[in-house]
Structure 1
Amino acid sequence: MASSSSGIVAGLTAGALAVVGFLAYQASANAPDSVAVPSASAAPTRPGATGPAKPRSPLELPADSGEGTRVVYSLSGKRVWLVDSTAKPGSKPPTYRVAPSAVSPTPDTYRVTTRSKRITGSDGKPVEHVVRFANVDGVTIGFSAAVDGTMPTPGVKPQEGTGAVRLSREDGTKVWEFATGGVKVVVVP
């Protein structure tokens, strides 16, 4: 008798689940859009927002990048921003693409320590407008521009042991003029 009662319970449970599933399907098919459950692929919204969250532009200043006059260097974005003390949240300060160095600083706040108008870089290239701001295991990290105007080839790993974050000559001049001694350099992931 015990085996027949367990079969009956299993059958009733399966039937009940089928009825609940059918009723749930019917309810969702007839529900107005205003109460429909969003799909897993729907974009999240901010509290109080009226629509999906807007994707962040790669040119937009990263959140939590400090305050006041500073150079913001995004390691993953391969970009720097020159932010003066008058910049307001949501403003778009000047930004420039960079070719990262082989040795990168950890995300943190640094200060411009030294600058050189023209030297030979750690990779043997003549460079100008060198703005140094960090040191990682004896490797000095800084922004610079190659005098011949060349940039590292995208996708090619920089020479091991160099700390040169390269910019175009034009962009390097702008960073040089902005990042004087003591100016903050905020490195973000």
Structure 2
Amino acid sequence: MAKRLNPGVAVAGITIAALVGVGFLAAQAANSAPENRGIARTSTPTPSAASGAPAPPVYVPPPVPANSGTGKRVVYSLKDSHVWLVDEAERTLREYRVVNAPVKPQPGSYQVTLKKEEAQTGSDSLRITHSVRFGAVQGIPLGFAATDTPLDKIDTGNKSTPSPSGTARPRTSAPPAKQSAGVRSNTEDGAALWAFAPVGTPVIVVP
């Protein structure tokens, strides 16, 4: 006659098997997580609208510009003042707004030539960190850097001051812009770019 299994032993065995299965699935999920955890921007849930209030607009990231190369690269759009960090699998790990420099590069293909993480004073007199240089324009260092100055407070030299009306004083022109080819971002985005792009990484500048 077959020996009857103790019910308590059977339940314990089932419980152990279930726990082992959960642990295996958790390990699989951890192994499939992206490697660039500090580079990829984490998504934030859209807050629910209050009763009777219109829902806030949902941010839709702009797509990577067409004809901007393939593979791991930094894509920089002059017209949109925007940067994309794209990995080898053509996934956009991060995208963000930047402030263009007064002296702009020509569209084309460049590559990272020099990096400096420490704080310094940029050619536009701003305090910058996480500099990523990828060339020069008119002999001026060309590159990305982070700044703790709010982006909407950065003067790119493109604003003109209107002359007061009703005066005979001659109109004076705005002071010339500082000769800077530094593209500025906030500190978080600048640090992500610095970590993403070692020396030799392609930088594609599009119109």
Where on the TM-score scale, by shorter chain, does this alignment land: which range? Answer: 0.5 to 0.7
Q: What runs of 5+ residues in structure 1 fail to find an aligned partner? A: 1-56
Residue 101, structure 1, aligned to residue 108, structure 2: no
How many residues are treated as equivalent by the alignment? Answer: 129
Higher RCO (C-alpha 8 Å, min separation 6): 2
Question: What is the deviation of 1:179?
Answer: 1.3
Matched AA of 1:135: A
Question: What is the deviation of 1:92?
Answer: 4.4
* CA displacement, residues 59-101 of structure 1 (integer Å, 9 cap, x when unaligned): 11000000111000000010000011111xxx54421100000
Distance 1:156 1:185 in 2: 22
Q: What runs of 5+ residues in structure 2 fail to find an aligned partner? A: 1-59, 159-176
Alignment-derived partner of residue 138 in structure 1:
139
Q: 2:188 aligns with which of 156, 170, 173?
A: 170
Q: Is the 8 A contact 1:116 1:128 kept in 2?
A: yes
Question: What is the deviation of 1:106?
Answer: 0.4
Question: What is the deviation of 1:151?
Answer: 2.2
Distance 1:145 1:82 in 2: 15
Alignment-derived partner of residue 80 in structure 2:
77
Cα RMSD, aligned residues only: 1.9
Distance 1:181 1:117 in 2: 13
Matched AA of 2:178: E
Q: Once superposed, which parts of structure 1, at least 4 consecutive aligned residues long, lie more than 2 Å away?
A: 148-160
Q: Is the 8 A contact 1:61 1:93 kept in 2?
A: no
Q: TM-score normalized by structure 2?
A: 0.58
Q: Percent identity?
A: 41
Q: Which moved more, 1:117-126 or 1:169-178?
A: 117-126
The structure having more radius of gyration, on CA atoms, is 1
1:107-122, aligned counterparts within 5 Å? 107-118=107-118, 119-122=120-123
Residue 62, structure 1, aligned to residue 65, structure 2: yes
Alignment-derived partner of residue 130 in structure 2:
129
Question: What is the deviation of 1:156?
Answer: 5.0
Matched AA of 1:59: P
Q: Which moved more, 1:151-160 or 1:70-79?
A: 151-160
Question: What is the deviation of 1:150?
Answer: 2.8
Matched AA of 1:114: L
Question: What is the deviation of 1:164?
Answer: 1.1
Distance 2:124 2:66 in 1: 33
Alignment-derived partner of residue 32 in structure 1:
none
